[in-house]
Homo-oligomer: A and B are copies of this chain.
Amino acid sequence: HSVTYDIDQKYKTPYHSRYLSFLKQAQEKNVIVAAAMTDPKGDRSKGPSAQDDPDLFTHVVERRPDGVVIRGAKAHQTGCVNSHWIVVMPTMRLQEADRDYAIVAAIPVTDKGLTFIYGRQSCDTRALENAGSDIDQGNAKYSGQEALIVIDDVFVPWDRVFMDGEVDFAAPLVDAFTTYHRRSYVCKTGVGDVLIGAAAAIAEMNGVAKASHVRDKLVEMAHLNETIYGAGIASSHESRPTRAGNFINDDVLANVCKHNVTRFPFKLARLAQDLAGGLVATLPSQHDFASDETGPILKRLLRGRSRNDTEARVRMLRLIENMTMGRNAVGYLTESLHGAGSPQAQRIQIERALKLEEKKGFAKTLAGVKE
């Protein structure tokens, strides 16, 4: 929104009205639009146009009277296979030589030129086991997935092109996008709430819910989870209007929020496994529980506090396995690390915003240092 507005102000381009028109349609039809930013990148010491292979970053290969032809790829695209549209965007600051890489355009996921190559995930094939494996899947209702999107000469008409060649606006676009995106990682606190609930439930089933160390671990999990939440809410609270009229949240707090997301879910996962007990990693299959031969034995031996809760206990253990080592660990742990930028990306952004001269000034005033 704000970047198309700013480009238009500088270059008298028509991007902002195109964007508003696309947005209006998307809202009317209630469609999901996936932001496709991350290019494969190849040799990370070189920029887009300096790579051996030009297609390691998405770029324009032809400009026609009615639109552009785009080639390249976007990696790590969470949720793209259940979206209606993707919007490709540059993934980094660009130089003059990278003009063809400064492209923002909306493409329907049904475009023939798009290929989605699905990523494997920990425990992915449990979802393909026969219908009776819903318990072993841990969470048979929800999961995520990532795909590599290959873009093979896709034509996009001008009314869906929102940047083309304005290399000086790649960095502002990336900055605005990551400011929103990093704050949005507060979503992991919802997953954290589930994991805290699972840890509390399994502790209860194990008959140890009242032990002081158990209660203390649940408090620690909540404290860390709410710490993430606080930075996210604060980032939104300190939003300010852009020139285009929309609001943008606070950059430092968005990075702080995301940076804590790269740290705390790993601590919550460890604490959840601690409260689960070793059975979280040694539990037999649900088919062994269902078997006439082994089922009765397992139900006797693997009961918790109450004789009747064996299945509930097994289900809760499988959920914790799923969230800490299985399919949802991909989203809760690895994506928490790398989504919207790896830890170092946040540190760079925090460093940029350190205002060290101001802070050194505070210290010098108090220390009585004159310059």
Q: Measuring CB to CB, which residues of chain A are less than 8 angstroms from any residue of chain B?
A: 38, 40, 42-45, 52-53, 55-56, 73, 75-76, 115, 117-123, 125-126, 129, 134-136, 138-142, 146-148, 150, 193-198, 200-201, 204, 206-208, 211-213, 215-216, 218-219, 222-223, 226-227, 229-238, 252-253, 256-257, 259-260, 262-263, 266-267, 269-270, 273-274, 277-285, 288, 294, 297-298, 300-305, 307, 311-312, 315-316, 318-319, 321, 325-326, 329-330, 333-335, 337-339, 342-344, 347, 350-351, 354, 356, 358-364, 366-369
Contacts and interface: CB of A to CB of B under 8 A. Distances in A.
Contacts of A361: 197
Contact of A270 (B42, B117, B266, B277): B266
A368 B368 CA distance: 40
B315 A367 contact: yes
B197 A360 contact: yes
A318 B204 CA distance: 36
A47 to B, nearest CB: 13
25 contacts: A40-B302, A43-B304, A45-B207, A75-B301, A117-B294, A121-B281, A122-B122, A122-B123, A125-B125, A125-B126, A139-B366, A141-B366, A150-B297, A194-B362, A197-B360, A204-B360, A212-B212, A219-B354, A223-B256, A226-B350, A227-B256, A227-B260, A232-B234, A236-B237, A237-B237
Given A119-B281, A193-B362, A312-B364, 10 more contacts: A40-B301, A76-B278, A115-B294, A141-B368, A196-B359, A197-B356, A198-B367, A233-B237, A316-B369, A325-B329
Copy tally for this chain in the complex stands at 4
- Going nearest first, the 3 A-B pairs with the smallest beta carbon separation are A197-B359, A230-B231, A278-B338
A258 to B, nearest CB: 11
Contacts of A219: 347, 350-351, 354
Tell me what chain A mostly uses at the interface: helix, strand, loop, or mixed.
Answer: helix
